[in-house]
Amino acid sequence: MESLTEDQFRQVKKSDTLVVYGCGYSIATLPLIHKLKLVEFDSIGFNWFCKSHIPTTFYVLREQCPPHCKGLEGERAKDLIDDLTEYYPDTVLIVIDLKDSSNSWKDRKIWIDHRGLFKQRGVVLREKYYQFYRQKEYGLFFKQARELNIFQQHIMYSTCTMSQILHLANWLQYQRVIFVGVDLYDHRYFWLPPDVLREQTKRSKGKRELDSRHFTANVTVKMVSDYKEVYPEVSFFVHNPRSLLAAVIPVWEG
């Protein structure tokens, strides 16, 4: 992986709009006309969005292929590396260094060890774990985040990768954020048939069914709501009108 400096990384930003792509089942029915419109903006993918082959400006590499997922067909490290190599040659990779994170993730190397296998440009960002309890704490964090240099200090993590996506969007000062495929109302994924539960979901702690809310639903909605309150000048939209985010932000009409 070719490492970028902070200045080079900032220059990757070409738009005031950031499209955040999730892995919800609605990606499977994303209209072509919307795909063509969305590629006009900067975008970021994470987890297994690379299975869509929809190009993105950035791609976060954090927790795909953890040790307990070994042997899962289609979700091996090789699968992700192959997809990113073939379909995302121009994407800037954001590799998360977990060595100083919470005890749950501390010292896990995962993608740090694989950097040499990627031909793309990219950066390594050190993660710090934040545990929020009180109302508005996400908002207070985002209010300070623009002064927190993610290269010289760290990028936040709290509960889910979306916290890092929003921290990055805040630091790069995007004025509009569009969530696509961030459904949250179930555990279906776009690359699987609608009646098939992901194998990793079956192995996860806690009972999760196809039609149960995504386990990150509540915290994701709260983070977006708090961010919006602190920065009312930033416009937020969600593509899927059924998404749970539609309760706090308007639907993007294209």
| Stronger pLDDT, 116 or 92, i.e. the higher one | 92
| Cα 176 to Cα 43: distance, rounded to the nearest angstrom | 11
pTM above 0.85, yes or no: yes
Q: At residue 172, does pLDDT exceed 60?
A: yes
Kindly list the structural domains of the chain, giving each domain's residue range(s) and its CATH number in brackets, ordered by start: 2-247 (3.90.1480)
Dihedral of alpha carbons 25, 48, 93, 228, sign = positive
The answer to whether residues 55 and 80 touch, using CB atoms and an 8 Å cutoff, is: no
| Stronger pLDDT, 169 or 207, i.e. the higher one | 169
Q: At residue 91, does pLDDT exceed 90?
A: yes
Query: 28-37: per-residue pLDDT in tens?
Result: 999 999 999 9
Would you call 180 helix, strand, or coil by DSSP?
strand
Query: 117-161: per-residue pLDDT in tens?
Result: 899 999 999 999 988 876 678 888 888 888 889 999 999 998 889
Query: 3-33: per-residue pLDDT in tens?
Result: 999 999 999 999 999 999 999 999 999 999 9
The residues, ordered by sequence, that sit 6+ positions from 25 with a Cβ below 8 Å of its Cβ are 183, 186, 188, 189, 190, 194
Query: 178-202: per-residue pLDDT in tens?
Result: 999 999 999 999 999 999 888 777 7
pLDDT score, position 63: 81
pLDDT score, position 101: 84
- Three-state SS for 62-125 is CCCCCHHHCCCCCCCHHHHHHHHHHHCCCCEEEEEECCCCCCCCCCCCHHHHHHHHCCCEEEEE
Query: 214-247: per-residue pLDDT in tens?
Result: 988 999 999 999 999 999 999 999 999 999 999 9
